[in-house]
Chain A
Amino acid sequence: MATYGMVLNLDHCIGCYTCVVACKMFYGTRPGVDYNGVVPVEWDEFPNAKQRYQLPICMHCIDAPCVTVCPVKATYTSEEGVVLMDYDKCIGCGLCVTACPYDARTLVRDDVTNFEGVVLPHEEEASDRLNVVEKCTFCYGTVKNGGQPMCTVHCPGVCRIFGDVDDPESEISKYIKEKNAVRVEGTHIWYVAPADMPKEFLPMTPVDAAKAKAAK
C-alpha cells in the first residue's frame, strides 16, 4: 500500500510562485481560490536580516479535522492518506473551512472567473462548481496515472519532492534520508529548513496550528 507524502525544502525556495500559478492553471481555480501559497517571512535586523518563504499547502492530516466535521461525508481520506473532496456531495456549509487548522480550504462563493464574463479553456471544469469547498488534492488523478503534482513538476528550485513514502527505494524516501527531512507530526508533509529559520515560521503540527489559529 502506497502512502503519499511531500517534502517541502524551504532552503531551496526562491519565492517565485510557480507552484501557485501552476496549480491555479491546472485546476482553473477562480480568483481568490488557491490550493497552495507562498508567504514571505523575515527575521533578524539589518545588516543580518533574512528572508525566506513559507509554503502553505493542505498538510493531508492523518486524523483530519475536516473529515471529522463534514456532516455529509463529502470530504474523506483516500487509502493513500490523501484528503479529498467529493464536490457532488458537498453542501457548502463551510464547517471544514473553520475546522482546518491550516486554512487550506476555500469555500467557493462567488461566480467569478479571472476575466470578467469569459471562461478560458482551462477554467471550464472549475467554473461549473459553486458553493462547494475546494482544496489541494495532491493532484490525485494525475498521481494515480503515474504523474506528479503540478507544483512538484514545475518548481524551478526543486523544493518539492513527492512520492510513496512507504517504498524505501522511492525518490522521496531517499531524499528524506539524505536531507534529514523532518516530518510534521500527524500529517503527510516533511520539510527541510535553513538552520537559522525561527521555529514559529516552520510548518506546525495540526494541534499547534489549531492553537495558533484560535489565538488569532
Chain B
Amino acid sequence: MPKITRRTFLKITAATGVGASVLGKNVLFQSADPALAESTSPEVVKYSHCVQCNHTPFCGMKLIFKDDKLYRIEKRSDYNNNLICAKGVAAIQELYDPERLLYPMKRTNPKGEPAQWERISWDEALETIAEKLNGVKEKYGAEKVAFITGDPKEPRSALMRLAYTVHFRLSQLRYRIFHLFLGSGFKLQAYIR
C-alpha cells in the first residue's frame, strides 16, 4: 500500500467528499502542532536548560521530540527561570545546522594561507592537544598557557575543565576573574596567566 500522508489524505477526502463533513472546516487544525502532524509516533517531552547565551541564567527548556527528532522548544513552566528568549526558542536551528562542526578537524596548511582542514579521529585530537599542552607545561610551566574563547560561548565549560586539568590550583584562582569578566560583559578569558 502506498504511503498516505496526512496531506494527501486530505486531498483524497476533499476530492471524494468522504470525511469532509466529519472533519468540517477546520481540517488543517486538527493537530495542536502543525509540524510533524502526520506522524503517529508519540511525543516525548524532556526537560533541560538553555545554553544559548552566557551559561549564567539557565533558563528552563521544555523539549518536545517526535521520531527521535527535536521539533519544538517551549519555555519550562514551574521552573525558577521560566522565561525563554528568541535565542532559546530558535535553538533547534543551531542543533540541526548543516554546517555545525561535529568532528575534530585538523589544519593541513600553515597559518596565513586560506585554511584547509581534514577530519581526524577523537583519539588523535585528544592526543595532539595533550601532547602540546604537556609540552608547554614541562618546558615553560603551566601558568604560561592561556585558555580563551570568543563569542561562541558553548565551549566555555569544557575549556574551564581543561584549564583545571592543566593546573588545578592556578585555574581555581583565575575562576573568580572569569566571573568578573562575565559580569562586566567582557569576552571570556578563562586563562592561566
Contacts and interface: CB of A to CB of B under 8 A. Distances in A.
A124 B36 contact: yes
B4 to A, nearest CB: 14
Nearest to A123: B35
Given A86-B25, A145-B32, A18 B73 contact: no
A47 interface: no
B96 A120 contact: yes
B32 A121 contact: no
Contacts of B170: none
Contacts of A22: 86, 89
Contact of B90 (A21, A88, A124, A137): A21
Which of B11, B66, B75 has the most chain A CB atoms closer than 10 A to its own CB?
Answer: B75
Contacts of B37: 125
Contacts of A18: 84-86, 89
A67 B76 CA distance: 37
B148 interface: no
Nearest to A27: B34
16 contacts: A22-B86, A25-B93, A26-B35, A84-B28, A88-B11, A88-B28, A115-B98, A122-B71, A124-B36, A125-B34, A140-B29, A141-B32, A142-B32, A144-B29, A154-B74, A156-B83
Given A25-B92, A28-B34, A154-B74, 8 more contacts: A26-B34, A27-B34, A88-B28, A122-B72, A122-B92, A140-B26, A141-B28, A141-B30
Q: Which 6 A-B pairs have the closest CB atoms?
A: A121-B71, A141-B29, A21-B86, A121-B69, A145-B32, A18-B86
